[in-house]
Amino acid sequence: MTEKSSIPADEICFGLDRITDERSLALFLNLFSRKQLLGTLIPRLDDYEIEQVVDLLSTLMRTHLQEKEYHELFLDDHDHHH
| Helix count and strand count (H, E) for the chain | 4, 0
Looking at residue 54, its pLDDT comes to: 98
Is 3 inside a domain boundary?
Answer: no
Res 81 pLDDT > 90: no
Taking a C-beta distance cutoff of 8 angstroms, is the pair 82, 69 a contact? no
pLDDT for residue 3 is more than 50: no
In a domain? residue 71: yes
Residue 12 lies in a domain: yes
Q: Is the domain of 37 the same as that of 58?
A: no
Whether residues 67 and 35 share a domain: the answer is no
Instruction: Note the pTM of the prediction, 2 decimals.
Output: 0.78
Residues 38 and 59 in one domain: no
Decide: 13 and 24 in contact? Cβ < 8 Å. Answer: yes
Q: Give dist(CA 78, CA 60) in Å, integer.
A: 21
Amino acid at 75: L
**Tens digit of pLDDT for each residue in 8-41?**
788 899 999 999 999 999 999 999 999 999 999 9
Domain limits at 21?
8-44
Cα(20)–Cα(36) distance, integer angstroms:
26
Look over the chain and give the mean of its residue pLDDT values, rounded to a whole number.
90
Q: Is the CA virtual torsion 64, 68, 69, 73 positive or negative?
A: positive
In-domain check, residue 78 = yes
Q: What is the pLDDT of residue 39?
A: 98
How many domains, in total, are found in the chain?
2
pLDDT tops 80 at residue 71? yes
